[in-house]
């Protein structure tokens, strides 16, 4: 995806962080952007600062609300690109398990994506074109400390995106997976540990735009960090566990 001029883009989870920065970047490239999230004031502020964009308040974990939002969007015309960026994160260890919060992670990070996909995919298939992008995380590559609740939901998104790619590519739809490392957002502000290779949301959005232009399935950044994380996926379990223990003590 290179030419964004006049393209209809819907970003779910765009009130702050990566979602907001990506919406701003695509608006600057000429896209007709609709931003969704639960925070109405933040969305309206974005729409004011980006003339021609649209704010659509939405709780992605509410399936009926997602379907109603999609119906509203499709009534105005086809969607060219849908980006699922909604996220919930709290650091968690196995000896401090909070199942209700783990369920919230699943509702926002994974089930919300399924609700959006169920609502938009039939219309995209009918129109014969479109692109779906899911924002995962390198935290989904393998199990990591503090990631008891968050990591499994991102691992599910990785598998989901790979399957979507296989199922939809031959039917005219593009699918991409976004795998950020540490990005300076309200979610990562909760971390009490040093975050290597921390980047800004604007830098993340720039990497995403470049990745889409290059036609990559997985867009991961910053590469000076994420390439090492990809290497960890290939290590035997014994070596992986030893390295992670040493790095996180």
Give the DSSP letter string of 195-237: -TT-B-HHHHHHHHHHHHHTT-SEEEE-HHHHHHHHHHHHS-H
Nearest to 103 by CA among 152, 140, 54: 152
> Where do the structural domains in the chain lie, given as residue ranges?
8-248
Residues forming the active site: 150
CB count in 10 Å sphere of residue 64: 8
Predicted TM-score of the model (pTM): 0.94
Residue 195: phi and psi, rounded to 5, are -110, 105
- Rounded distance, CA 122 to CA 124, Å? 5
CA angle 230, 25, 154 (to 5 degrees): 30
Its sign, for the CA torsion 7, 160, 202, 65, is positive
Q: DSSP letter for 78, please.
A: -
Architecture of the domain defined by 8-248: 3-Layer(aba) Sandwich (3.40)
pLDDT (tens, 9 = 90+) of the chain, 249 residues, equals 999 999 999 999 999 999 999 999 999 999 999 999 999 999 999 999 999 999 999 999 999 999 999 999 999 999 999 999 999 999 999 999 999 999 999 999 999 999 999 999 999 999 999 999 999 999 999 999 999 999 999 999 999 999 999 999 999 999 999 999 989 888 787 777 778 888 999 999 999 999 999 999 999 999 999 999 999 999 999 999 999 998 886
């Amino acid at each position: 995806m290179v030419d964004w001029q006049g393209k209809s883009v819907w970003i779910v989870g765009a009130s702050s962080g990566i979602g907001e920065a990506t919406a701003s970047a695509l608006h600057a490239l000429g896209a007709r952007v609709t931003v969704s999230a639960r925070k109405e004031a933040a969305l309206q502020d974005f729409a004011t600062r980006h003339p021609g964009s649209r704010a659509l308040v939405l709780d992605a974990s509410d399936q009926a609300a997602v379907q109603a939002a999609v119906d509203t969007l499709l009534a105005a015309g086809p969607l060219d690109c849908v980006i699922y960026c909604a996220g919930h994160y709290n650091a968690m260890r196995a000896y401090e398990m909070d199942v209700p919060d783990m369920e919230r992670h699943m509702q926002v990070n994974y089930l919300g994506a399924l609700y959006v996909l169920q609502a938009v995919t039939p219309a995209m298939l009918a129109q014969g074109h479109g692109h779906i992008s899911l924002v995962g995380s390198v935290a989904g590559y393998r199990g990591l400390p503090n990631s008891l609740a968050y990591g499994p939901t991102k691992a599910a998104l990785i598998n989901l995106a790979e399957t979507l790619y296989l199922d939809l590519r031959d039917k005219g739809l593009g699918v991409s997976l976004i795998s950020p490392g540490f990005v300076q957002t309200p979610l990562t502000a909760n971390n009490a540990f040093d975050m290597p290779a921390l980047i800004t949301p604007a830098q993340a959005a720039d990497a995403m735009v470049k990745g889409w232009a290059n036609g990559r399935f997985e867009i991961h950044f910053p590469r000076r960090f994420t390439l090492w994380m990809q290497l960890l996926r290939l290590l035997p379990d014994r070596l992986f566990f030893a390295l992670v223990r040493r790095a996180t003590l």
